[in-house]
Amino acid sequence: MPLRDRKVIVTGGPTVEPLDPVRFISNRSTGKMGKAIADAAHLKAREIVFIHGPVHESLLENVPYRTVGIESTVEMLDAVISELRPDCVLIMAAAPADYRPVKKSSVKIKKSEEELILRLVKNPDILMTVAEIRRKNSALRNMFLVGFAAETDNIENYALGKLAEKDLDVICVNDVGRHDAGFGVDTNIVTIFSRWGDRLELPLLSKKDTASRIIDCVEEGIMKKTDKLLP
Ligand code: CTP
């Protein structure tokens, strides 16, 4: 089924994991890349939903598709699962927090101790959970999964490792070691790898142009996957 007939679920931004009513653990993701991908997908796909963590409200002004705001990684997982359909493409551009505090204090933590030790527990991996759902449910086998990776070194090795480990169709790798790529800035340098052995190294581009090249690759990948599934 081509991209124009598909639903695209894009995630973007950080997630936040509360420590107490006023403090949280999070990361530097701004949601710009995810939003650019949702915009690019909107030009080509049947339906878009953008599931995002806390982002600047200006990012979501006049968005012409559905948006769903969440806070924590578990909430993002639940939101993604509730949107899954047999025809969907999931593009995980978000930076979900990998760990959350073992428990959230119901009252503000006071600075009474000289040293404060935080105990964290691993969050579920959204892509791995969805890939497992796809493996176990033959009605969902045509879902197309796209991951991102933010790396500073050994880019190709880590990318191919995550592609295999998370059972993805495509992975887009940001070189976050560079000041003009990755978090917060408007440009990016991405290399795209597919499970069919394709490798496309994009130059320094605006996030808008990077997003439209990624959507082109997803469109090609969907056709390749469909061809392979045909008898
Ligand atoms: N991701 C996810 N669920 C998480 C964490 C990450 O689905 N709990 C997704 C991200 O949205 C991204 C991909 O996994 O598409 C890779 O994220 P990245 O942070 O680069 O890698 P991790 O798997 O978290 O591994 P590490 O931080 O050790 O590099």
Q: Is there an atom of ligand 1 within 6 Å of 39 CB?
A: no
The helix (run of H) or strand (run of E) holding residue 67 is strand 66-69
Decide: 7 and 90 in contact? Cβ < 8 Å.
no
Bridge-based pairing of strands 205-206 and 199-201 is unpaired
Domains and CATH numbers, the chain: 3-229 (3.40.50.10300)
Q: Is there an atom of ligand 1 within 6 Å of 94 CB?
A: yes
Please state the atom number of ligand 1 nearest to the C-alpha of residue 123.
8
Q: Is there an atom of ligand 1 within 6 Å of 91 CB?
A: no
CA distance 129 to 172: 19
pLDDT digits (tens, 9 = 90+) for 171-229: 999 888 777 766 667 888 999 999 999 999 999 999 999 999 999 999 999 998 876 65
User: Quick one: pLDDT at residue 227?
Assistant: 66
Q: Residue 231 C-alpha to ligand 1 middle, in angstroms?
A: 34
pLDDT digits (tens, 9 = 90+) for 102-157: 999 999 999 988 999 999 999 999 999 999 999 999 999 999 999 999 888 898 99
Probe residue for ligand 1, chosen from 71, 77, 92 as the CB with the greatest number of ligand atoms within 8 Å: 92
Q: Residue 47 C-alpha to ligand 1 middle, in angstroms?
A: 25
**Catalytic residue chosen out of the listed positions 27, 62, 142, 157:** 27
CA distance 72 to 88: 23
Q: Is there an atom of ligand 1 within 6 Å of 126 CB?
A: yes
User: Quick one: pLDDT at residue 225?
Assistant: 83
User: Quick one: pLDDT at residue 17?
Assistant: 98
User: Quick one: pLDDT at residue 152?
Assistant: 86
- Confidence check: pLDDT of 41 > 60: yes
Q: Residue 45 is encoded by which pair of tokens? A: 């796909």
Tell me which residue of 196, 120, 116 sits closest to 163, measured CA to CA. Answer: 196
Residue 27 is among the residues annotated as catalytic for this protein? yes
- Confidence check: pLDDT of 170 > 50: yes
DSSP assigned state of 219? H
Could you identify the residue written with the tokens 């899954």? 84
- Alpha carbon 196 to chain centroid distance? 21
Determine what percent of the chain is predicted with pLDDT higher than 70: 96
Could you identify the residue written with the tokens 């469109």? 219
Q: Residue 62 C-alpha to ligand 1 middle, in angstroms?
A: 29
